[in-house]
Amino acid sequence: MLEELSFKLETALKKVRGQGKLTEKNISDTLREIRRVLLDADVNYKVAKEFIEKVQLKSLGTEVINSITPGQLITKIFYDELTQLLGGSFTELKISGSGITIILIVGLQGSGKTTFSAKLAKRLKEENKRKVLLVAADVYRPAAIQQLNILGEQIDVPVFSVEEKNARKTVEESIPFAKEKGVDTIIIDTAGRLHVDEEMMTEVADIKSVVNPTESLFVVDSMTGQDAVNSAKAFNERVDYDGIVLTKLDGDARGGAALSIRSVTGKPIKFVSNGEKLNAIEIFHPDRLASRILGKGDVISLVEKAQNSLDEKEVGQLEEKLRKNKFDFDDFLKQIKALKKMGSLSSLLGMIPGLGSQLKNVKIEDNALVRVEAIINSMTMQERTTPKILNGSRRLRIARGSGTSIQDVNRLVKQFGEMQKMMSKYTKKGFNSSFLNNLPVSR
């Protein structure tokens, strides 16, 4: 996520590290380079110019105290201004205190509105205990209604649609249907449209006036850079939406849309939607993204993901097995499944401070976990709990059963043995999972 921007900014900030003090010259040289980096990242010219001016104003004349280096100081100033540029603090989704909460989803074609609608429905159902109805108001795209129905089945959320190819009628009839079914949240998936298409823009404006949504969200593909920002501005002028959803941010190396869109539209980014998995949705935290861009990771989000993915009872059982040095392949398989729930490996590793720059241009393949799962699933329960019995013939059978090579099986068994030895050393020193409570995590 934004690895190219992060790497270039880190390189630019190195120019003031090791300097005895901040001067007008070394500040000017650094900010000139950062301005170039921002423009290369497709950040809006006006946004980049104003951002650099604010950083420069705060940097000049700032005293460097004994415990802080010039590099640390300008990085702190840069982090503060970057956080403000991204929105300052997170903005919550509006939920109606009484009656039905109606959420209208709008945006360009191919931006990921339908998938996001399902992701949001799943999140509201599971985390907010809402009774959700998805409304299929995209009546133009072939198979759009079918796609929403399939997604609805996967998350066990009903989908409302009508036979007639009429988006206005669909949303009008969905409201009495929702009341009849005791639904408290409606998410309306509208058709993708260009902001220059007058007829389609009039339709979405009409839909908004008909349903008077509690919240309207503009979904945009972050990888389209300034095109995303321009369309966001045009849509806002016609629809006056409440918030923005950035999709495909995990595939965006430059970050032009993420850094520009709040300043240009005046509307907050509320969610980030990464990947096709229906749990790949995050509340947008400006301070956390600023930290990741500056190579400082995002430990808070990583811990939150872990808490949401790990079962408390299983964690207790795992801790007990670690104490007794009885961690086996079956326990390892459970941890892999929990890890997969947290998202892609590359996105998780990017949250760990310092790893972003080290992993630049390194391809992290999630199918490595799939291979490991296949190998363990091909073992008998006795082999999982007693790895020392894995002789040559057993390993060959496992390789054939998992569709992998004998080398893959040997490598996994060897790595697992090394991991067990490492865990044994820690448990002898009194290691337990309570160390997580003492991590130096700060906002």
Question: Strand 281-283 and strand 269-273: pairing?
Answer: antiparallel
Q: Is 223 domain-assigned?
A: yes
Instruction: Kindly state whether residues 129 and 36 are assigned to the same domain.
Output: no
Instruction: Kindly state whether residues 313 and 274 are assigned to the same domain.
Output: no
Residues paired with residue 137 on neighbouring β-strands, in sequence order: 190
Please tell me the total count of domains within the chain: 3
| Listed ranges 78-82, 148-152, 334-338; the one with the highest mean pLDDT | 148-152
Domain's final residue, options 85, 112, 144? 85
268: confidence class by pLDDT, cuts 50, 70, 90: very high
Instruction: Kindly state whether residues 106 and 235 are assigned to the same domain.
Output: yes
Helix pair angle (70-85, 286-293), 10° resolution: 140
What domain range is 75 assigned to? Answer: 3-85
Asked whether 291 and 352 are in contact (CB, 8 A), the reply is: no
Weakest mean pLDDT among 98-102, 303-307, 415-419: 303-307
Q: Is 59 domain-assigned?
A: yes
Phi, psi of 260 (to 5 degrees): -105, -30
Instruction: Kindly state whether residues 114 and 153 are assigned to the same domain.
Output: yes
Tell me the per-residue pLDDT of 177-216, one tens digit each, with 9 for 90 and over: 999 999 999 999 998 888 777 888 888 888 998 899 999 9
Output 248 or 300, whichever has higher pLDDT: 248
Instruction: Kindly state whether residues 105 and 173 are assigned to the same domain.
Output: yes
Does position 433 have pLDDT exceeding 60, yes or no? no
Q: Is 443 domain-assigned?
A: no
Instruction: Kindly state whether residues 43 and 107 are assigned to the same domain.
Output: no
| Listed ranges 196-205, 367-376, 390-399, 422-431; the one with the highest mean pLDDT | 390-399
| Whole-angstrom distance, CA of residue 88 vs CA of residue 355 | 25
| Lateral strand order in the sheet of 281-283 | 159-160, 132-137, 185-190, 101-107, 215-221, 243-247, 269-273, 281-283
Domain's final residue, options 275, 294, 313? 294
Provide the CA 296 distance to its chain's centre, in angstroms: 16
Q: Can you give the CATH number for the domain in which 13 is found?
A: 1.20.120.140
Weakest mean pLDDT among 6-15, 313-322, 391-400: 313-322
CA angle 91, 93, 99 (to 5 degrees): 145
Q: Can you give the CATH number for the domain in which 377 is found?
A: 1.10.260.30
Asked whether 222 and 108 are in contact (CB, 8 A), the reply is: no
Residue carrying the six token digits 């629809």: 239
| Whole-angstrom distance, CA of residue 346 vs CA of residue 335 | 17
Look up residue 428 and give its two tokens. 């002898």
Instruction: Kindly state whether residues 324 and 280 are assigned to the same domain.
Output: no
- What pLDDT is stored for residue 359 in this prediction? 47
Instruction: Kindly state whether residues 356 and 286 are assigned to the same domain.
Output: no
DSSP element (H, E) containing 80: helix 70-85
- What pLDDT is stored for residue 323 in this prediction? 65
| Whole-angstrom distance, CA of residue 400 vs CA of residue 227 | 50
Beta-carbon count within 10 A of 248 CB: 19
pTM: 0.70
Instruction: Kindly state whether residues 175 and 255 are assigned to the same domain.
Output: yes
Does position 165 have pLDDT exceeding 50, yes or no? yes
- What pLDDT is stored for residue 177 in this prediction? 93
Tell me the per-residue pLDDT of 48-99, one tens digit each, with 9 for 90 and over: 999 998 888 887 766 555 546 666 777 888 888 989 999 988 899 999 888 8
311: confidence class by pLDDT, cuts 50, 70, 90: low
The residue-averaged pLDDT of 341-357 equals 57
- What pLDDT is stored for residue 184 in this prediction? 93
Weakest mean pLDDT among 150-164, 183-197, 295-309, 332-346: 295-309
Instruction: Kindly state whether residues 419 and 339 are assigned to the same domain.
Output: yes
Beta-carbon count within 10 A of 431 CB: 15
- What pLDDT is stored for residue 55 in this prediction? 87
416 contact partners, CB below 8 Å, separation of at least 6: 329, 332, 387
Instruction: Kindly state whether residues 289 and 306 are assigned to the same domain.
Output: no
